[in-house]
A and B are shown apart, each in its own frame.
Chain A
């Protein structure tokens, strides 16, 4: 239907742009990861020293594992919060449009600002501590609230819950209502209907939401810097310091390249599971 010229004209510009500004940069990341720094100068001498260092120095695997634990907790909590919310909105609420907008609105509040708000709440002279002292629950401020992995998990959960909610809600909205009615007509109790009809059919949405929450919180470095303290340092903070004061771009690139490969492997896996879910 469309001429060859038309197809070329729409395909060529984005292809060229993406090749230069996405593909080439990701390739550079891998190139740098095989180079080294000597006397504050990056030497284009190909070797595996950076990757060997990542495996030999126990600090890197430890921080990566901690990041994965934090990201895993965020994912789990976001799912636990958004699943009942999505179910309520999709199946029980009469004002779903309004409530849907209410879930979306926090997404429009700046990421930084929300992280900062948690700092105001959790700090030693923050809202929560002074409130607890005011009503007499505690005498001295609880210091463990801020500057801890807990604070990072709480903040990231707050940020990614709406993101997890969206695909779950979308997949629940796509469930044919006559399936649910059939289950009820055949005498299934609401709980049974939920577990045998609604839950399995909303799994693809949950998977998409969980992937989003996990990957984005795994690579986060702003919340840990702002409210994580020394015990809340994540893998991207190590990268930031290597690209800043520590000045070792190649090592930082090796960590980022490993992170990129990890994420790509995860996305590949998720796509396989998604296909299986939609066939069964």
Chain B
């Protein structure tokens, strides 16, 4: 279980937001969402989540740009970021990982796989104190 860790979901599709929120909430994550690309970096900084799930095709701003900004910020360099996108080609995966994505998943996803990925990348910070 997640011990109430906070996930910030940056996504603009209402139905996908609802599905991800349901899946993660049921697993004990505290899920907050942000639908706009333009001020997404500010939102991350303000909410300081334990994990970010980031869509690429957002209104106004690309998810890749947001990721690059996050990694450029010292305080968020280690923040686990899961890039979740409908653009599933190898070059998209390569680009995401090069920009510093912790994990890359393609839509549509299996709920179980999403849950496991989220658990995995959030693990270091949850297990280190143990």
Are these two chains actual partners, yes or no? no
Chain B interface residues (CB < 8 Å from chain A): none
B-contacting residues of A (Cβ < 8 Å)?
none
